Every structure is written in C-alpha cells, then in structure tokens.
Structure 1
Amino acid sequence: PGIGEAMRAESLKKVKTAMLSRGTAGIKGTTLIMNLPGSINGVQENLKMVLPLLEHMVEKMGSMATSS
C-alpha cells in the first residue's frame, strides 16, 4: 500500500532529506511491519499519521487471515 509514500510526503513537509527515507510497510503472516525513520521526531510524526489507521489495518489483516 501507500504507507511509505504517505510517510515520506508528511516528512518532506518538514525535512528535505526525507526523500532519502526507505520507509515502507508490509504484512508477514499476521504481523504488520513498518520501517520508520531513524530520528525520534521522524518516528513521532509518522506514528501520529499512521496510528489513526491502525484499527482499520488490523481489521483488514484479520479478514485476510480468515479468507486464506
């Protein structure tokens, strides 16, 4: 999905070097894996953006697990 792109776009508003970020997210089995920025501020900013979507992501993962 576009989680990595969204994290970079949000970070670019504050730090131009964010375009070098390799932020990404994916699913392995029933585990959500997110690669966050290296700075504490970057992590906090990205989590503020992603956490409101977490419940929806978990619900989608649950439906994927039961349909396979």
Structure 2
Amino acid sequence: MSVNQHKREAPDSVGCMVVTVSDTRTEETDRSGQLMIGKLKENGHRITEYKIIKDDYTAVQEAVMEADARVDTAAVLINGGTGIALRDTTFEAAEAILDKTIPGFGELFRYLSYEKDIGPAAMLSRATAGVRGSTAVFSTPGSSGAVRLAMEELIIPELGHVVREIRKDR
C-alpha cells in the first residue's frame, strides 16, 4: 500500500493533549503551547487537554501515561525540556516509557533546523517522537520557532497517518 493510500485512510481529526514543560510559563505566557493548539485546531484536530507541568522527569512520564490512558486522545504533543542542561529531562522521561521510537522525527527536525536558521547548534536539540501504547508522542523544544517548524513541517502533515499506523491493527 502506498503512502498516499495510507494517508487517504488516516483520520482527518485526531484528539490531542498538549503539554508544555516549564518551570516559569503560565497559560498567559505560554506562546509555544498556544501555537501548538492553534496549529492543531487550524487543521481540524481536537484538543482533549492542555496543561503546563514542571520540568520534572516523573511529571513528564505521568502526562504521557495519562494521554495513553484516555480514549479521546490519540497523540500527546510536548514542548520544552529537550535541551542539554541538567534540568532538561523531557527526553529521558519520554524515551524511557516509549514502546517504539520514531527516530526520523528527531533526525528530520534537526536537519530542518540546521537548514532554516539554527546552523550547527541544531545538534543540541533532543526532539523525539514515538509510541506509548496506542498513543503517538511528539516532543519538541519549547521555543516558538522550534514548535512552528515541527508543527508545520513534520507533525501536522503526518499526524493522521501516524495515528492510522499505530491503531490499524488494534
């Protein structure tokens, strides 16, 4: 079956949980979380929950597991906590509980970041994606530029297709 046929069979609307990982942001100052929500809604997807959590290993894992336990949620989109500072634990927390990883997401994100305007500093990004149970997990850096790039170039174009692939045999 071709990629185009897969995409034709993909859901047009996906229930998504949006999670911002930050010790300082509030709903009023969370431009990246709001950008994710806006891009999802513009493209016909549903927001099942939006939350801001502390940059904490356990809190990140709990958010992913909560999303996977929800019947109305097929994807969780996380922004923030993906850097290399000691406090940044989103990558480790998410990767530790994924059943499958989607290495191409991080690879393409870093490539596009490098090409667009970040240059060699793109190698510091630890954007990642994968599957937890029957839920797609996307984790991006917390900057608005990074979120815009990930949403427009990678997540939105493939979200329905990813969910179809995860759920087709269930």
1:39 is matched by which residue type in structure 2? S
* Bigger-Rg structure (1/2): 2
Q: Counterpart of 2:140? A: 36
- The TM-score normalised by the length of structure 1 is 0.85
- The TM-score normalised by the length of structure 2 is 0.37
| Distance in 2, Cα, partners of 1:20 & 1:35 | 14
Q: Counterpart of 2:162? A: 57
Residue ranges of structure 2 left out of the alignment (5+ in a row): 1-101
| Distance in 2, Cα, partners of 1:9 & 1:21 | 10
Q: Counterpart of 2:118? A: 15
**Identical aligned pairs, as a percentage?**
35
| Distance in 2, Cα, partners of 1:24 & 1:43 | 13
| Distance in 1, Cα, partners of 2:130 & 2:150 | 15
- Say which structure is richer in strand: 2
Residue ranges of structure 1 left out of the alignment (5+ in a row): none
Aligned length in residues: 65
Say if 1:26 and 1:34, in contact at 8 Å, map to a contact too. Answer: yes
Structure 1 ranges of 4+ moved more than 3 A: none
